[in-house]
A and B are shown apart, each in its own frame.
Chain A
Amino acid sequence: MSPSPSDGSHGIRISRVSKVYPGTARPAVDDVSLDIAPGEFMTLLGPSGSGKTTMLSMLAGFVGVSAGSIEIDGRDVSRLKPHRRNLGVVFQQYALFPHMSVAKNVAFPLQQRRMPKADIETKVAEALKLVHLEPYADRLPTQLSGGQQQRVALARAVVYQPRALLMDEPLGALDRRLRDQLQREIARMHRELGMTFIFVTHDQHEALTLSDRIAVFNEGRIEQVGTPADLYERPETLFVAQFLGESTCFRGTVDRQAGVLRCERFSVRVPEAPETGSGVVIVRPERLELCADETEVPESHNRVAATVTDVVYVGTHHQVGLRFADGTTGMAMRLVGPPLPAAPGDDVTVAWDPAHQAVVADPAGAAVSVPEVRSATPVLP
């Protein structure tokens, strides 16, 4: 689904929100603004400590904002107590009430709303059906597996039709297979309920597959907001490029007049460079062509000589590790099937269409200050 952009009177509007915890110097959330449209699946993605949980807790009302405001459907809720915000929250550690049965847990929010008993029963049954847990209504949470507990938590958080569902790494405590399964269920629930979902994760794969839009957090700030395709194909910062997916990054100096990025031993054409100065050209692995014969490459394409360092077979494709003349390492991806044009140790020409590259500013030392980023460099054998 493609929700219409928020006009402010509907949906959630976060305006210049900051949070400084008492006794700390650096803000945990630093001047964040974000509009979330009704029915949108918005993911807050970022490394550990980037302020995602803090942002979500401010939305839910568990912690107050230090500055800025949060509006829901045009109404400022920044000072509203959590129980009056009518939002659903799902926690990483489930937070089910251990002394209540599954049905009682799901009935809890309805009882708080003084719903008649008969209505509660039908609503609880519907919610448990939504998460395929009808037979478990009378169990205690401790008698369920982690995945089942999280599904109870989901049912409990949507049964009263809150204005939005907030989830803080809801799949973080589950193993791989369950995580995939629950991911699909969350996507299905989003389709069926048409509710606004705000989903926190540090898993880029989860973010890319589930979201309508993703807000990438880094050190309390939003680096970029966009659709998964926006972020993957047109990253605006080196951080976003490195946090989401693999890439080859050429560092150098942008010469805007000449329309090139000058690296140590070669140049790369940058037709639409934003500014002059040190810059990085980013190319995703599936955009890199490997050719033994340079004459096949279209004139408009960039081409750089490289040595193949290794080839890793990962089922659907080969990952080809590359080393360029200036020492830059990178990776290309080839679908399995057509024969590989090169073997480890071979010299190849790497080519790509400049339309598929991104040029970003090079924040001094950015590569070292970025934690938990999977390196674009394949492991050398």
Chain B
Amino acid sequence: MTTATIKAPPGVSPARGAGRARRRAAGWLILPAAALLLVFFVYPIATIVWQSFTDPAPGLGNYVALLHDGISVTVIVRTLVTALIVAGSTLIVAYPYAYAMTKVGPRARGVMTVLVLLPFWTSLMARNFAWYMLERRDGLIDRMLGLIGLDGVVLLGTVAGVTVAMVQVMLPFMVLPLYSAMKQIDPRLLDAATSLGAPRRRAFAKVYLPLSVPGMLSGFSLVFIMTLGFYITPALLGSPQQSLVPQVIGQKVSALLDFGGAGALGAVLLMITLLVLFVVSRFTRPFTALSGTVGNE
């Protein structure tokens, strides 16, 4: 370590000097990451936003165009609704799963964690193509439903098909925050509630559910925001008539070379994301004070 050789300036006690030097070293350590973010994240975003105001002509032209082109507003609304449905469905699927994870023994919990993380270790492309095979005409889903008399259910090219696949992809991002919030909840609270006269189900609704709200909020916002920017899945499984914001941006950039319009759409998406984060952080703050169930000063 080079910091060990730095001499403390006169008047500074050795201990304080060393502390400051260590802090300066820590500052250097984050430099690579900061540089990376600056070059590959902040700079491009700044460029995009800048272009949305300047390309092809300076002013708010691109944003006005979004309002009047007859399609962008529809796409934005459709994207928001889809993201809400995906986040909501993911929550409904993930909640019982995460709850079960807190109940089972350590070995079963290990297996359940691996099952959740499995998607992380599989290529996104592979999974999307797997859904493609399942959802296409004469695919597994079509044939299975055919067996029970529901013919011709082709999810491919529909919003429903896209939603189902996105829920599966998003599951880990919901299960993990939920689980980490739930394992903080003292299981004896449910015993206490039942001993006080609440049937099991009401005890759950009155005590457990409210205490798991912080986990629900963080999982929901994570999935909601990620779904807003999802590109591959809707591109592959959806239809061009039902496109979402990321597809339209891609189209503007690669087919229409409309960098300003794409930038404006991207900026709108960014604003929505920031708004969601702001609202959620507003909501979670009063809750985080409560998440410690065994208060013991």
A9 in contact (CB, < 8 A) = no
Cβ of A93 and Cβ of B294 under 8 Å apart? yes
- A297-349 interface (Cβ within 8 A of B): none
| Given A81-B200, A97-B189, residue A89 in contact with residue B295 (CB < 8 A) | no
A271 neighbours in B (Cβ, 8 Å): none
A60 neighbours in B (Cβ, 8 Å): 191, 195
A145 to B296, CA, bound (A): 7
- The residue that B191 contacts in the complex, of A82, A109, A142, with Cβ under 8 A, is A82
- The residue that B295 contacts in the complex, of A81, A82, A112, A142, with Cβ under 8 A, is A142
B251 in contact (CB, < 8 A) = no
Nearest CB in chain B: distance from A81 CB, A: 7
Cβ of A83 and Cβ of B199 under 8 Å apart? yes
Nearest CB in chain A: distance from B150 CB, A: 41
Nearest CB in chain A: distance from B107 CB, A: 12
B296 neighbours in A (Cβ, 8 Å): 146, 149, 173
Nearest CB in chain A: distance from B99 CB, A: 18
Cβ of A146 and Cβ of B192 under 8 Å apart? no
A220 in contact (CB, < 8 A) = no
- B267-297 interface (Cβ within 8 A of A): 289-297
A142 to B203, CA, bound (A): 20
A85 neighbours in B (Cβ, 8 Å): 195
Cβ of A62 and Cβ of B191 under 8 Å apart? yes
| Given A94-B294, A98-B295, A173-B296, residue A89 in contact with residue B195 (CB < 8 A) | yes
Cβ of A99 and Cβ of B191 under 8 Å apart? no
A140 in contact (CB, < 8 A) = yes
A89 to B193, CA, bound (A): 10
- The residue that A83 contacts in the complex, of B198, B206, B210, B289, with Cβ under 8 A, is B198
| Given A109-B197, A145-B297, A146-B297, residue A95 in contact with residue B290 (CB < 8 A) | no
Mark A93-119 against chain B: 1 for CB-CB distance below 8 A, else 0: 111111100000000110011000000
A142 to B287, CA, bound (A): 12
Task: Closest A residue to B211 by CB, please name it.
Answer: A99
Mark A59-99 against chain B: 1 for CB-CB distance below 8 A, else 0: 01110000000000000000001110111110101111111
A156 neighbours in B (Cβ, 8 Å): 196
A93 to B295, CA, bound (A): 9
Cβ of B186 and Cβ of A95 under 8 Å apart? yes
| Given A142-B289, A142-B290, A142-B295, residue A95 in contact with residue B191 (CB < 8 A) | yes
Cβ of A89 and Cβ of B191 under 8 Å apart? yes
A146 neighbours in B (Cβ, 8 Å): 296-297
- A111-166 interface (Cβ within 8 A of B): 112-113, 140-146, 149, 156-157, 160
Cβ of A93 and Cβ of B210 under 8 Å apart? no
- The residue that A112 contacts in the complex, of B186, B189, B196, with Cβ under 8 A, is B196
Nearest CB in chain B: distance from A225 CB, A: 25
Cβ of B295 and Cβ of A109 under 8 Å apart? no
Cβ of A108 and Cβ of B191 under 8 Å apart? no
A85 to B199, CA, bound (A): 11
| Given A81-B200, A83-B194, residue A91 in contact with residue B188 (CB < 8 A) | yes
B38 in contact (CB, < 8 A) = no
Nearest CB in chain B: distance from A377 CB, A: 36
B202 in contact (CB, < 8 A) = yes
Cβ of A86 and Cβ of B207 under 8 Å apart? no
A281 to B138, CA, bound (A): 88
- The residue that A93 contacts in the complex, of B186, B198, B206, B207, with Cβ under 8 A, is B186
Cβ of A98 and Cβ of B290 under 8 Å apart? yes
Mark A182-225 against chain B: 1 for CB-CB distance below 8 A, else 0: 00000000000000000000000000000000000000000000
Task: Closest B residue to A90 by CB, please name it.
Answer: B192
Nearest CB in chain A: distance from B272 CB, A: 30
A109 to B210, CA, bound (A): 18
Cβ of A112 and Cβ of B202 under 8 Å apart? yes
B210 neighbours in A (Cβ, 8 Å): 99
Task: Closest A residue to B195 by CB, please name it.
Answer: A89
Cβ of B292 and Cβ of A95 under 8 Å apart? no
B189 neighbours in A (Cβ, 8 Å): 95, 97
Task: Closest B residue to A97 by CB, please name it.
Answer: B207
Task: Closest A residue to B198 by CB, please name it.
Answer: A112
A173 neighbours in B (Cβ, 8 Å): 296
Cβ of B194 and Cβ of A82 under 8 Å apart? yes
Cβ of B197 and Cβ of A113 under 8 Å apart? yes
B211 neighbours in A (Cβ, 8 Å): 98-99
Residues of B within 8 A of A (CB): 186, 188-189, 191-200, 202-203, 206-207, 210-211, 289-297
Enumerate 15 A-B pairs (CB-CB under 8 Å) in ascending A order: A81-B200, A82-B191, A83-B195, A89-B192, A95-B186, A95-B191, A97-B189, A97-B193, A98-B293, A99-B207, A113-B197, A140-B289, A142-B292, A146-B296, A149-B295
Nearest 3 pairs between A and B by C-beta? Answer: A142-B295, A112-B197, A109-B196
Other CB < 8 Å A-B pairs besides A95-B192, A149-B296, A157-B195, 19 of them? A61-B194, A81-B199, A83-B194, A83-B197, A83-B203, A88-B195, A91-B188, A91-B191, A93-B188, A93-B294, A95-B191, A96-B295, A97-B193, A98-B290, A98-B293, A108-B206, A112-B196, A160-B196, A160-B197
